């Protein structure tokens, strides 16, 4: 569907290592919350659980896409405006728009 270049090696953290840590953290959370790790034949419908998680994932992905779209549109407008605004004024305008666009996210995490 999309043509992408091959990955470029770098010195950053391996994503697989991050996922392994996330899985270990998730297991610990499950044990703390439910007093047992996730196991087969646990009385739950795993297909229903997985489907509902996929729906949540779709929502989170779409949210990220929309936020990126709105931030990029705002930045495009700011960069156009920087031809008329110089120096510190441009920086203050970028900071103002960024804070405006992200204030809901910051409030939600508080």
CA distances from 52 to 58, 95, 96 (A): 10, 37, 37
pLDDT digits (tens, 9 = 90+) for 82-108: 565 566 677 777 788 888 888 755 555
43 vs 21: CA distance, rounded Å:
27
Q: 65-75, pLDDT tens digit by residue?
A: 999 999 888 88
Could you tell me the residue ranges of all domains in the chain? Answer: 42-109
Q: Would you tell me the crossing angle of helices 88-109 and 46-81 to the nearest 10 degrees?
A: 160
Report how far residue 91's alpha carbon sits from residue 40's, in angstroms, rounded to the nearest whole number: 55
């Amino acid at each position: 569907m999309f043509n992408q270049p091959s990955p470029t090696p770098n010195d950053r953290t391996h994503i697989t290592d991050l996922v392994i840590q996330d899985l270990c953290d998730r297991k610990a959370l499950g044990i703390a919350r439910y007093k047992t790790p996730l196991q087969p034949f646990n009385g739950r419908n795993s297909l229903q659980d997985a489907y509902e998680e996929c729906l949540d994932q779709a929502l989170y992905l779409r949210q990220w896409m929309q936020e990126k779209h709105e931030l990029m549109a705002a930045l495009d407008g700011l960069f156009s405006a920087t031809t008329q605004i110089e120096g510190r004024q441009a920086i203050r305008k970028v900071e103002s728009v960024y804070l405006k666009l992200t204030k809901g996210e910051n409030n939600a995490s508080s």
